[in-house]
Structure formats: C-alpha cells, structure tokens
Structure 1
C-alpha cells in the first residue's frame, strides 16, 4: 500500500525557475507542496522567520543571514530562485538637480527596510566600488526588519507616507530598492546596465537575492523529503530558459562567490555579528545536495 505524499506548507514566488512547480507541471509521490498565497512574496518572510510558518520557504538571503545569526531554526538549501544586478534599484528626482553616488553623504535616502537584501547589495557597492561613507547617509525606513531581534536605529518615515511620493515631494533625496516609470525619477547610477557589466567584470557574480530554506524540524525529521524538495526545485529550474550570466545558481560551488560577497557586505554593515563561512550556512544534509 502506497502512503500519501507528505504535505509541506510552502512559500514560493512566481519566478521562471519555479513555474513548473507552481503550475503543477511537476509533481511528486513523495511530497506535496501546498503553496501559501502572499503578494508580494516577501510578506511571508517575517512569519517564516518569527513563527516558522512554512516547511519550505523562499527567503531573502540577507534575512536568512540575520536569522542564522540569531539562531532561528531554518536551514539553507543550495538553491537560488532570484538573482539580479542591483544598479537599477536606486533613484533620485532629476528635476531637483543632479545626484551621483558620491553626493549621498549628508543626504536622506529612503528604503523599505534597512535590512532588505537589495539595500545590503547597493550599500556594499556604494562603499566598495564608489568609496561612499555609509555612516554619513541618513537612512529613512518604512518597515520593521524581518528579524525582530535586530536593533534598527534608522529614522522611521511618518506612518502612511509613500516612499516614491516622498522622493517626488523632496522629503527624500534618493531611494533604494525601488523602480518607477515616472520620467522625473532617474537612476542614481547613471548607466545602470553599463555599470552592472563593469561590476560583473570585477566581481564575477550576479547578486543573489532570494534562496530557498526549509525548517530545521523538516531537515532533522525527514531528510528524504528535503532531498525531494531540492530535486523538484532543481528540475523546475532546468525547465526554465537559462540566463546569461547565471542569475539563479544551484549547488554550493556555484553559489559560493555571491554568498561570500553578501556575507562580507552584511558583516561590514553590522547586519550580522560575524562573518559566517559559506559552508556553515548549510546543514550536513543540505551541504551534501548537488
């Protein structure tokens, strides 16, 4: 008699690499992924970190690093579901005069939460590639960190305020982590595509944004289910059109350069208390997956 598949509470967004899984094109007789509805997907990260709301969850990599730093019972899979160059995700109001990365010290910069992964990548680029003193920027935030234990010392925007509207109104000098079709708003990095190409030539990685984690309980109690989840994720990615350069690497070796860089950035920005090694982000089980 065949047993029913193990039902797993799952948070996964709509990405090319997850499409075959979410559409039902891929199924398993070992596990059944029950997808939670969160839009945008990042709204589900806080309940995963704080309540372990899912067995399998998409997760921003910086949120995972911070959760790992505070002992949250989650385990990283060597699976990336979203990666992207970040240079397009910083804007300023061009009608108020030119602004470049070098001009940011002393300015008011809005960001949804100080601990967003896009924010960590952009700040790392500003400091490492443009020589910007991050401590001289006045950060204005709109949301709490996903990890409650992190002490956020940034200035909070007034309740009800919209980040783009504040930029348009001159209450902010720039914003990070946002895009807009408003013609008055221009990219802080003057030619984002060219600067991304130069950054890739220098660092050799596409910044990882979102990965997949499993609960520590699932990792410890049912290793075969974890292996099956990873197999499904890998198969779903294989059915998507490949990206050049690779934006959603699988396997520790392929993910290592990007993970090492974001660990460095997160430590430099005091988002985590120490620099983890890449290998300690995984369990013995998930480290063995390939």
Structure 2
C-alpha cells in the first residue's frame, strides 16, 4: 500500500496508529495540524490530504455541495455537548429556554457542537435556531455556504470569551477549548443529566468528528479504506446511521444544507467490503 498524507488529531485511540505502533502496510504522514479543525477547510476546498478527520456538520455540507469525499465509519471524536454552552455566572440566563431572543456566540454557525446544541434547544426547549441572535467569528469550512439572515459576524479582532465575559454576548458555545472560569457556568443547570437525556432519547453519544478519504483514493484503492477502518478501530455504517440521520435532520432544520440528503448519499463511494 502507498504512503498517505493525513490530517488526524492525536487521541488515545489514534496516537499508536499515527506513530506506527500498530502493524499496518500503510505509512501515514501526518500534517500535525493543531487544532485539527484547521484541516477541515483545506480538505474540503482543495483536497489537500488523502485522509482527514472531519466534523460531521462540515462533511454533510461538503457532500451536499458535491465535494469529492468519501465518509469512513470511523469515529474520531464524540461527546455530550451541553457542557460547551456557557453563560456568565451572574447573568440573567438561568436555563436553556432563557436563550430565546438573546445573543449567543459560536466560532462558526456551522460548527458541529452548535449543530447538536441547536437541535436540543429546538426540540427539547422550544428555542428555534432563528429565535436566537447568533454571533460568529469565522466562515464555514465549505466556501459556498452563506450564513442565514439571523446570524451576524462579530467585529474583526474580537474574542468569543471576552465578549461573553463583558456582557456583549449572553451565552457562548465553545469546543475543546471550553474555559474553566469561575465567572462562567453552563446554561444547562445539570450538564450530566442533560447529556444522559440526549442518549436516552436518541440512543447514542453525539458524534463530532469522523474520518474521510478523498474520492480518487477510495476509487483507485478500495483496500485503503478497509485498512483505515481496521487501523482506527472503525465500526459499520449501520451502527452510525442513527447519528448520521439525526445530524442530517438538524442540518436541514438549521439552514446548513442547500438540499436534502439521504444516508445512502452520505455513504456514497464507501467500498462494499467496508460497509
């Protein structure tokens, strides 16, 4: 098998494979991008890597816009999201329903943590996406996407955490960089219970990042897809379909997609021996 250019985050379950600690005919040359989210735009827009980790929201948007990527049934990151939505400890927001009509910051409207949280806010707390004034700091990874009319851009040079702490924002969504600050608290009064409630309703922990392969590589060497799934302890498309289906639904409701998607489209290009 050939050498591959990859952009994959280093986790407990990926470090050994990236470092050659797991026997494989593949030789992986990792780009070492940190945070790994910085790899998503060049993968979507340029196909810069042969293999890349990618946020589920980014992949669904890329697929809807016809980008030549193939999704692999490999979960790189999954977590409950509720602890990432913070407000000021002394502020007026006491529960998720209080966000209606308020200003909530997020790195990008298309960020996957925001996707899952907006779905919960809408379906469990009656706060629709357009019932919040979203304030963003970056464009989507998919260049063709334009934010909805109820989304505004923060002033150039401004900082998400600073705007939350000075009261410009009523709440903010963070990711892996969620701050540990006594001046802040979660919008969900009981984060653990809210996460377990999601799992009870839907049967899974929300998926943040998966693994994708460039279509030309998948078509010319389907054995590479199978080896990547083995190397990174992948699962099956059937096992991931509940998360995929809900992510599609939330993406459509939140104006992230230019057209509806089916799960068959999402898995298009996946070699039969992997599916």
Do the structures match in fold with TM over 0.5? yes
- Is 1:252–1:287's contact at 8 Å kept on the other side of the alignment? no
Q: Which residue of 2 aligns with 1:242?
A: none
How far 1:7 sits from its partner (Å)?
A: 1.1
SS at match of 2:76: strand
Q: Is 2:17 the counterpart of 1:17?
A: no
Give the match for residue 224 of structure 1. 223
Counterpart in 1 of 2:163? 166
Deviations 1:119-152 (A, max 9, x none): 0000000001111132121110001100000012
Q: Tell me which of 59, 67, 86 is aligned to 2:54.
A: 59
Alignment partner for residue 27 of structure 1, among 13, 20, 23? 23
Please give the alpha-carbon distance, in whole angstroms, between the structure 2 residues aligned to 1:210 and 1:122: 15
Normalising by the residue count of structure 2, what TM-score does the alignment of the two structures yield? Answer: 0.94
Q: Alignment length, in residue pairs?
A: 271
CA distance in 2, matches of 1:287, 1:209: 24
Query: TM-score normalised to the size of structure 1?
Result: 0.89
State the match for 1:283 in structure 2. 268
- C-alpha distance in structure 2 between counterparts of 1:157 and 1:262, whole Å: 26
3-state SS of the aligned residue for 2:257?
A: coil
Structure 2 distance, partners of 1:206, 1:16, is 18
Can you give the 5+ residue segments of structure 1 that lack an aligned partner in the other structure?
238-249
Work out whether residues 105 and 134 of structure 1, in 8 Å CA contact, stay in contact via their aligned partners in 2: no
The answer to whether the aligner puts 1:210 opposite 2:205 as a matched pair is: no
CA distance in 1 between counterparts of 2:208 and 2:118 reads: 14
* CA RMSD after TM alignment: 1.4
Instruction: Tell me the residue number matched to 1:261.
Output: 246
Unaligned runs of 5+ in 2: none
Cα deviation for residue 28 of structure 1 reads: 2.1
**How far apart are the structure 1 equivalents of 2:55 and 2:271?**
18
Give the CA deviation at 1:23: 2.6
- The 2-side partners of 1:287 and 1:166 are apart by 49
SS in 2 for 1:110: strand
Q: Is the 8 A contact 1:49 1:72 kept in 2?
A: yes
Contact 2:72/2:270 (<8 A) preserved: no
1:65-84 to 2 correspondence within 5 Å? Answer: 65-84=60-79
Give the Cα–Cα distance (whole angstroms) in 2 for the partners of residues 116 and 279 of structure 1. 23
Q: Cα–Cα, structure 1 residues 198 and 225, in superposed 2: closer, same or farther, change >3 Å?
A: closer
Q: In structure 2, do the counterparts of structure 1 residues 190 and 286 end up closer, same or farther at CA, with 3 Å as the change threshold? A: farther
